[in-house]
Amino acid sequence: MTRRQDNIDVPTTAEPTAFGKKVFVRTYGCQMNVYDSDRMTEVLAREGYEATDTPEDADLVLLNTCHIREKAAEKVYSELGRLRKIKDERARDGKSTMIGVAGCVAQAEGAEISRRAPVVDLVVGPQSYHQLPGLLNRAKSGEKVVETEFDIDAKFEDLSRAAVKPVRQRPPSAFLTVQEGCDKFCTFCVVPYTRGAEVSRPVSQIVEEARRMAAEGVREVTLLGQNVNAYHGEGPDGKTWGLGRLLRELAEISGLDRLRYTTSHPRDMDEDLIEAHRDLKSLMPYLHLPVQSGSDKILKAMNRKHTRDEYFKLIDRIRDAAPGLALSGDFIVGFPGETDADFEDTMDLIRRVEYGSAFSFKYSQRPGTPGATMANQVPEDIKSARLLELQALLTEQQRAFNASRLGMVCDVLLEKKGRQPGQLTGKSPWLQAVQVDAPEDLIGTIQAVEIIEIGSNSLFGARIGRQDEHLSTAPDLKEVAFDA
């Protein structure tokens, strides 16, 4: 991964303690884990650690884990088995290796990880990674460290005070966590138990970090939160700001040309946020708004606290404000008690809404969640059949949406080299991957591109000349409607 790095004055700690040491971080799961991994490498950089791309070359290996997907913990234990062999091989060469497990699996199974995998030197939850230097010192003294306390405010205060230049050059597109935790307690979800209650960072912290990102060459920022549109941070005026007002503030930062946010809940999509999609040119015309099911009975069992009709009305309001917006969603099939009629309600919702993209999963039991102990668990073969049918419909809609871009001119942020020589990969305003023939010196620029071909997983475009990085020659994206 390449990142741009400019000179910027930021505080550092006094004396690094691990000059010449290397750290390898493997990231699983969501975008927030990507953000957390970057912050961990920054924390360790203050201690003299340099990032490496291979665990065989690392003095410290960190697995930043996710507990959302099925069998997430078992995948971690399998990886730890491979790392044990690497640790043994390095030991034979006289090199020491420390292994840590971070993230949501660490939070959920801290003591169990230490018991099952003695190779692990430290376990650290997602709210404690700012304490890594001290935890490492304890582990070096022979202590088996398990730190899973919740103190999100302390984490972000510490990271803000001790901000440093990134270990690697920043990419043109980056993540920025603004909110963590969730108070919704959906019956299928572990997030309230692994990330804690909803907490929002102060506006001043977020704006400072966004400005630093822009100074380092970031052109697009995606605001992250387990329930990001529930953001309720303290503003510089002492009042509570919502996500819409925060986006308006970030839109004023010079050089920050694109804004996105994920993941949202329908219950927190307020009018100010909807109007931000109408008003802000830098807020990209894409919204990930999971509904999970189209059945009122299943939505109630999931504790979603909205109905299908309320979701339809919300989508109408959003599309009235931003007609060209691409909608994405999440769907779970086979939730306990789901009948054929309930599943058909979900299929009907998908047909009526018309998604540009979506994610879909079979329900899987998560220990400690209410759904895991519910009666009427759906047989695996029925879940698999329903998922295939649902994904076929979503794929059809995605292809139709992609095809509707053919011949359109849009702005594309070029982010990295493509698979083919002379090719760069970027993102459309609607979050589609776009392949463009262009020289490498255009990485990090926004180019007007005509979409000339539709692939199975990405679009192909041709540049319409070389344009100013901060000007757009594309049509007003808010006025482009999707006709499937």
Binding residues: 30, 66, 104, 182, 186, 189
Interacting residues of 115 by C-beta distance below 8 A, sequence separation 6+: none
Q: In 93-131, which residue ranges form alpha helices assigned H by DSSP? A: 104-116
CB 405 within 8 A of CB 451: yes
Return the SS3 of 388: helix
Compute the half-sphere exposure of residue 321: CA atoms within 13 Å on the CB side of its CA: 22
Instruction: Give the position of tokens 């668990």.
Output: 377
Cα angle, residue 46 at apex, residues 107 and 250 outer, rounded to 5°: 75
Residue 441: CB atoms within 10 A of its CB come to 7
Question: Cα-atom radius of gyration of the chain, to the nearest Å?
Answer: 23
Task: Output b/e per residue, 306-317; b: 16+ Cβ within 10 A.
Answer: bebeebeebbee
Burial of 204 (0-12, 13-18, 19+ CB in 10 A): middle
Rounded to the nearest 5°, which phi and psi values hold at 383? -60, -45
Contacts 24+ apart (CB under 8 A), 305-308: 305/184, 305/267, 306/266, 306/267, 308/345, 308/349
Structure tokens at 168: 């690697």
C-alpha distance from residue 78 to each of 74, 83, 116, 413 (Å): 6, 9, 11, 37
Residue ranges at the known binding site for [4Fe-4S] cluster: 30, 66, 104, 182, 186, 189
Q: For residues 263 and 182, give the distance between their C-alpha atoms in angstroms, rounded to a whole number.
A: 11
| Structure-block tokens of residue 317 | 């309001």
